Amino acid sequence: MGLVVQKYGGSSVADAEGIKRVAKRIVDAKKTGHQVVVVVSAMGDTTDELIDLAEQVSPIPAGREFDMLLTAGERISMALLAMAIKNLGHEAQSFTGSQAGVITDSVHNKARIIDVTPGRIRTALDEGNIAIVAGFQGVSQDKKDITTLGRGGSDTTAVALAAALDAEVCEIYTDVDGVFTADPRVVPNARKIDWISFGDMLELASSGSKVLLHRCVEYARRYNIPIHVRSSFSGLQGTWVSNEPQGDRKVEQAIISGVAHDTSEAKITVVGVPDKPGEAATIFRAIADNEINIDMVVQNVSAASTGLTDISFTLPKTEGRKAVDALEKTKPKIGFHSLRYDDQIAKISLVGAGMKTNPGVTAGFFEALSNAGVNIELISTSEIRISVVTRADEVNEAVRAVHTAFGLDSDSDEAVVYGGSGR
């Protein structure tokens, strides 16, 4: 029997009852003969509450202290979980990220893991303990300060530990039964996916699917760690995310894996840009110099009569203000006409490696939107994804229409959301 890493999200350990329920599951895994490492998130909405508290004290809390504060959430749940396990008659020890050897760079609030040296975890396991590790945190290599990995970062902690400890699998326990063909909150008859490749999962994650973070999947792919996403509230098999279907489960690669949507982006249109070399470069240099990530970019054909064109792009709404200010500053240099900012948009994406070899997927996608009366504002594609931008208030209808058109609907409403937030 090998080693398993299990990660429990905040809604699975929201209260004392939840912690006791999770403790039982962990002990069951240990009883099957596995060595068990558990990564745990902060209880319920603790992280949000700590953020609120910090903002009441200071509008711009310093990164170092902010991280020190936020990591307290996971310390509470790790200690309580270890106590609950001991209460069931099994040995457990809890460790902070730093004690577990999670070494990061020094970018507070969104640090990246650069090394994992889990010596103390190995020792604890060899002595017969279940090791409980606080997720979402590490220690910076240079200054030895406590860091956090960005919201939802516990999944990344779990995969990183699984890689460093050469685990058989990284189980991510959440409040839904796995990865679904669409967000079950929007499409009640979405279907649970039994197996999905890292590639399709990465596209879903970057297209707005919230069940797994892009960074965590990227890490798992790099070290080839199979992830099993499942519910801590049911005993059901969840979704396997890996290079190949696991063991004897002969699952065929679906043509379409799912439909994702994202309402966190805004669209900026630069109107009346002179159609000559260097203009797009200047615009996007100004954006990049402000550390703003952009997503879709579209340039129109210029009108022959004016020699002017429009350039549109999407970006996180949270960066909207900064981007508009940066562009206003380049106006004298470029001489564009005006800027249009629109945050009432949604992005809908269809993802599946099978679209490479199945002509007609793009046409079917656009037909489904057209039948639903949804207007397309921007289009972008990759080899295994098509995305469109629509009006925000049409997103639910559009997602359902596309889901049905590609035969993804399940006969029953199998998607159950057990907890609160889907984390």
* Residue 45: CB minimum distance to ligand ASP, A: 8
Measured from the CB atom, the residue of 137 and 390 that comes closer to ligand ASP is 137
Q: Which of 6, 11, 35, 47 binds ligand ASP (CB under 6 A)?
A: 47
Q: Which does 136 bind (CB under 5 to 8 A by kind): ligand ASP, Mg ion, none?
A: ligand ASP
* Residue 220: CB minimum distance to ligand ASP, A: 15
* Residue 10: CB minimum distance to Mg ion, A: 4
Q: How many CB atoms lie within 10 A of CB 288?
A: 12
Q: Which of 97, 152, 199, 352 binds ligand ASP (CB under 6 A)?
A: 152
Residues 312 and 298: beta-carbon distance below 8 Å? yes
Binding of residue 90 to ligand ASP (CB under 6 A): no
Residue 128 CA, distance from chain mean position: 33
Q: Which of 10, 199, 208, 238 binds Mg ion (CB under 5 A)?
A: 10
Could you identify the residue written with the tokens 């990465």?
A: 202
DSSP H helices in 105-250: 119-126, 154-164, 198-206, 214-223
* Contact stretch for Mg ion (CB under 5 A) within 10-18, 196-204, 218-226, 347-355: 10-18
Residues 259 and 182: beta-carbon distance below 8 Å? yes
Binding of residue 75 to ligand ASP (CB under 6 A): no
Q: β-pairing, 130-134 with 102-104?
A: unpaired
Residues 402 and 389: beta-carbon distance below 8 Å? no
Measured from the CB atom, the residue of 226 and 419 that comes closer to Mg ion is 419
Token pair recorded at residue 119: 């010596």
Residues 385 and 207: beta-carbon distance below 8 Å? yes
Question: What is the dihedral sign for C-alpha 23, 26, 32, 37?
Answer: negative
Token pair recorded at residue 226: 């199979």
DSSP H helices in 152-261: 154-164, 198-206, 214-223
Measured from the CB atom, the residue of 51 and 324 that comes closer to ligand ASP is 51
* Contact stretch for ligand ASP (CB under 6 A) within 39-47, 50-58, 89-97, 193-201: 39-47
Measured from the CB atom, the residue of 395 and 417 that comes closer to ligand ASP is 417
Q: Tell me the per-residue interface mask from 345 to 384 with ligand ASP, x by CB under 6 A, - otherwise.
A: ----------------------------------------
Q: Tell me the per-residue interface mask from 120 to 149 with ligand ASP, x by CB under 6 A, - otherwise.
A: ---------------xx-------------
CA-based end-to-end distance of the chain: 29
* Residue 370: CB minimum distance to ligand ASP, A: 39
Question: What is the dihedral sign for C-alpha 314, 318, 319, 324?
Answer: positive
Token pair recorded at residue 340: 């249009």
Measured from the CB atom, the residue of 154 and 312 that comes closer to ligand ASP is 154
CA-to-CA distance for 297 and 192, rounded, in angstroms? 32
Measured from the CB atom, the residue of 7 and 423 that comes closer to Mg ion is 423
Residues of the shown chain interacting with ligand ASP in the complex, contacts defined by CB under 6 A: 9-10, 41-42, 47, 73, 135-136, 151-154, 423
Residues of the shown chain interacting with Mg ion in the complex, contacts defined by CB under 5 A: 10, 41, 423
